[in-house]
Amino acid sequence: MTPQTRPVVLIAEELSPATVEALGPDFEIRSCDGSDRESLLGAIGDADAILVRSATKVDAEALAAAPRLKVVARAGVGLDNVDVKAATQSGVMVVNAPTSNIVSAAELAVALMLAAARHLSPAHAALKNGEWKRSRYTGIELYEKTVGIVGLGRIGVLVAQRLSAFGMSVIAYDPYVQAGRAAQMGVRLVDLDTLLAESDFMSVHLPKTPETAGLIGADELARVKPSLVLVNAARGGIVDEEALYDALKTGRIAAAGLDVFAKEPCTDSPLFELENVVATPHLGASTDEAQEKAGVAVARSVRLALAGELVPDAVNVQGGVIAEDVRPGLPLTERLGRVFTALAGEVAQQVDVEVRGEITEFDVKVLELAALKGIFHDIVEDQVSYVNAPLLAAERGTAVRLVTDAESPDHRNLITIRGTLVDGSQVSVSGTLVGLSQKERLVEVNGFAVDLEPTDHLAFFTYEDRPGVVGTVGRILGESAVNIAGMQVSRDEKGGAALVALSVDSAIPAEALDEIAVAIDAAKVRGVNLV
């Protein structure tokens, strides 16, 4: 490229020299202070790509000021400062570095555990105040204690490995990990109640979802050992902070190490008043190594994006040489993967991604990756990409197969995700695109034919066919202020097994799902939240 034709890459925050080196000589590199709004808006106008960390806000206004922009690269994991929806609407790719901080985050969790166990924070403060309090700050060892890992994803595994080296017995709760896979790592998989009862130390490593918010609350903390040391370096809000404060204040648990909070920045919390709390300001990714890995990773993604190649770490618009006929199926397939996981409630031993119809004349391997990306989206704490999705499947012992067939009797094209669970049962979900606008439709769930738009909030009830069920479901949802947007009833035969499939305007409360399950004597109830 000549200097006049080189794409412009705007670096809006200080990044490591390795980031610029990874970009190479093919771009015109410019810099600005992204935290200065006027400076940012003045500089982004002719940029083809922008690299940011956390201080630069790339919102609809900034995107509107950048007509040439093709990619926003966040040198880190979180995307709170990037309006992904607005970028997608503008056709701008957003990339991040989903695995850049996993070692740093795991090490910080261990550091918090050690600091809380040995009272390092108050002992340090006392010594700086001229007080020598050896007897007051007697701690406990990690050696030969039991640590419960809540969430055995990538960071959870790294923490388990490191704590095993301390001579700890490691147990874990993760409904999406198979016991055999955990056993290979020397980890005993247990249910949450067992983990709460047996743990001397607990470390949380789950993604923040509607299902995990408040997972460790007053009821759970009432069932643990009073000697428990609890660490949360994952996401704020998974541990109920009010319940945690009460448990620490009353001696219900011994100590806590916290790096994340329900609302951030958090500089004023009752938890900070307690000597048995060691807290840090979300430092999980704050190491030189993590920042360099993040910068280099997104620099490589920018190179791929501006070259028109597949960008595995794109979180919205997938780049790459993908047939135009295949591309519309990517978001549908990801959504089917997320519905599949909600229906299964666990990780399948075998997953088949079946693609049928005219689309099979093209290379559809990317649809297998899209299915895995959706399947693991709500399971792991990491950002799932086309690169790490197959690795996540392998880590959890899931065999994956792509099946193609040019014949599709009922639909022009049909995508099905079919999985075999540990007990041998099968889960399946199928979807297609209809009309000139290529609207997404669910057309099959666990063998039942349906025709439903896969909206953000869905629910599925399997029961024995009989009168009155639909009315009962509608009544309970109405009493819970949940509005039904669409409903399908399907059955294999009169009086046989039946399925109610719903799209609703808001998430159905767990209490309402439980009430429906009892009221209709449901064989299976599943709520699906895709926001």
Q: Is residue 315 part of a domain?
A: no
Q: Are residues 257 and 156 in the same domain?
A: yes
Which element (helix H / strand E) includes 107? helix 102-117
Note down the domain range covering 494. Answer: 454-531
- Tally of domains in the chain: 4
Tell me the whole-structure pTM to 2 decimals. Answer: 0.72
3-state secondary structure at position 84: helix
Q: Are residues 68 and 28 in the same domain?
A: yes
**Burial class of 34 by CB neighbour count within 10 A (0 to 12, 13 to 18, 19+):** buried
Q: Is residue 271 part of a domain?
A: yes
User: What backbone phi and psi angles, to 5 degrees, belong to 123?
Assistant: -65, -40
Q: What is the pLDDT of residue 317?
A: 61
Task: Give the pLDDT confidence of 142-172 residue by residue, as tens digits.
Answer: 999 999 999 998 899 999 999 999 999 999 9
Q: Are residues 423 and 458 in the same domain?
A: no
Q: Are residues 237 and 340 in the same domain?
A: no
Query: What is Dmax (Cα atoms) for the chain?
Result: 81
Q: Are residues 399 and 426 in the same domain?
A: yes
- Give exposure, 332-349, as e/b (b: 16+ Cβ within 10 Å): bbbbbbbbbbbbbebbbb
377 is catalytic: no
Q: Are residues 390 and 502 in the same domain?
A: no
264 is catalytic: yes
Q: Is residue 312 part of a domain?
A: no
Q: Are residues 510 and 526 in the same domain?
A: yes
Catalytic option among 21, 264, 273, 511: 264
282 is catalytic: yes
Q: Are residues 93 and 108 in the same domain?
A: no
Task: Give the pLDDT confidence of 194-249 residue by residue, as tens digits.
Answer: 999 999 999 999 988 878 889 999 999 999 999 999 999 999 999 999 999 999 99
Cα-trace Rg, the chain:
25
Q: Are residues 388 and 270 in the same domain?
A: no
Catalytic option among 74, 119, 181, 235: 235
Q: What is the pLDDT of residue 1?
A: 47
Task: Give the pLDDT confidence of 75-100 residue by residue, as tens digits.
Answer: 988 788 999 888 877 878 899 988 88
Q: What is the pLDDT of residue 271?
A: 98
Q: What is the pLDDT of residue 261?
A: 97
CATH code, 61: 3.40.50.720
Q: Which residues, 6+ apart, have CB-to-CB distance to 445 below 8 Å?
A: 339, 343, 428, 429, 430, 460, 490, 499, 501
Q: Is residue 311 part of a domain?
A: no
Which regions in the chain score pLDDT beneath 70?
A: 1-4, 317-322, 382-383, 387
Q: Is residue 313 part of a domain?
A: no
Catalytic option among 53, 154, 282, 335: 282
